[in-house]
Structure 1
């Protein structure tokens, strides 16, 4: 019996090793395909690559826990001045991120941020992809202020955001070379818009931003996350430059 046991055990070990190798290779292939061309802007552990607009430090109201960065407003500290922006600037890209918002919360993702002391906050220079909850405003109908809209400029056709406290996903495309912008929210395209030239200028002219110096003119700008004095959470923030 012994003389059969050893060969069988050896065959079993070899087969087991082959299965493990195959499994590891498959996993590696999936990771390579999934992340090809993408660079993470948030490592899940630190604020490396980010800073507060016009400042070198980051407010303690921005925190990180379990791979999620979030803003926890402190009523005893200043609000609205703690907007985060990327250290680097970007022109043509796809931005992918998950977000969730507090009840009746308000925040947003900026693109094309111009960091200049003439402008107090990113909101003064950069278009904002809106993040909004209106749980306690059941008759809210302003489509230019719903999640996925370009705030005050381009409205959405349909509200597809999940309710407060639930995760949502943005895929934002900004391409100045092709003059194309789009927002996909939870796998549905909700907004499509020009990002420069006469068509963009016409949209701004018909908005409250029409006389704002420096608004929406920067093609190579920072990406920003808005402090609007409400709780907001972000994770899996990554970019693919086009």
Structure 2
């Protein structure tokens, strides 16, 4: 990797990741092929099998980049995943860069590159289904940024009055100081499948 960057997915193994549930469930929920990491669709796995991928390490100040593509869902369905950061140990709770596409409408801050259920992105241009997108999450102190395909689409300050007001309107309102941890895990969300990742890298700042 270029100076300062660490690869978190070598295209063959999940050495940097563990399951949010049981490691034995990972092969049912994720498939590695052609150097890509694919979340399997619900119909292609045992009933109720669920395993998000959680980084073995925690991170505080970082630039996290990945490429992803969203597969076209069946009519009336969606393709839903997300990349979470500052995830609390032992949970799947954290700030989420939303990865979402639907053939229908979207309500609330639940669209691509939004800070899920908290803050909407602006100007996010998602490539068509089955084409690669590049994403970047920057976290430096309290300052955070979401980038999509080379464009900064959201920035915010964790712990600011505006951030806390947005939390108070969200589903996370009952959690004290949500999203304000100094460090936390990364998480690739298992949420119904249809997303493919590659070139997952991090640079600690």
Band of TM-score, shorter chain: 0.7 to 0.9
Alignment-derived partner of residue 163 in structure 2: 200
Structure having the larger proportion of residues in helix = 1
Residue 195 of structure 2 corresponds to residue 236 of structure 1: no
Shift of 1:167: 0.7
Provide, for residues 113-136 of structure 1, a one-character-per-residue CA deviation record: whole Å limited to 9, x for no partner.
Answer: 1123xx4xx1xx2111000112x2
Query: Counterparts of 2:157 and 2:175 in 1: how far apart (Å)?
Result: 19
Residue 153 of structure 1, CA deviation:
0.6
TM-score (norm: length of structure 1): 0.75
CA RMSD of aligned residues (A): 2.0
* CA shift for structure 1 position 215: 3.8
Aligned to 1:110: 84
5+ long unaligned stretches in structure 2? 73-77
Q: Tell me the distance in 2 between the aligned counterparts of 1:132 and 1:188.
A: 18
Match of 1:130?
A: 98
Task: Give the aligned length.
Answer: 198
Q: CA deviation at 1:202?
A: 2.4
1:55 to 22, 26, 49: 22
**Equivalent residue number for residue 13 of structure 2:** 46
Q: 1:203 and 1:162 mapped to 2: Cα distance?
A: 28
**2: CA distance between counterparts of 1:90 and 1:234?**
20
CA distance in 2 between partners of 1:213 and 1:81 (Å): 27
- The separation in 2 between residues aligned to 1:231 and 1:37, in whole angstroms, is 31
Cα deviation code 1:68-115 (max 9, x no counterpart): 111112435245731101100000000010001122301100001112
Contact 1:51/1:58 (<8 A) preserved: no
1:150 aligned partner: 115
Separation (CA, whole Å) in 2 of partners of 1:80 and 1:220: 29
Structure 1's 129 and 147: CA in aligned 2 closer, same or farther, altered over 3 A?
same
Secondary structure of 2:166's partner? helix
